[in-house]
Amino acid sequence: KKAHQSGATARKLQGESADSCHVSALVAYCERDWGAFERSMRRAIQIEPRHVRALASFGAQLCFLR
């Protein structure tokens, strides 16, 4: 719950960014919410197509989950 609150505060202060979406995806991963994980990763990559951490994390998880 604290991670969600911290993420919401960060998004309010800086706006939506690839980094904030990537962090949201990692929180969703820890909670095993695969749908939210995928949506957040796809949004991070949409915002910043060359976001290395999002691309690497998402690619690894797609290999693992599918």
Is pTM beyond 0.75 here?
yes
Q: What angle in degrees, to the nearest 10, is found between the helix axes of 52-65 and 34-47? A: 150
Residues sharing a CB contact under 8 Å with residue 26, sequence separation 6 or more, in sequence order: 57
What whole-number distance in Å separates Cα of residue 1 and Cα of residue 57?
Answer: 22
Tokens 């910043």 belong to residue: 48
pLDDT tens by residue, 11-59: 788 788 999 899 889 999 989 999 999 999 999 999 999 999 999 999 9
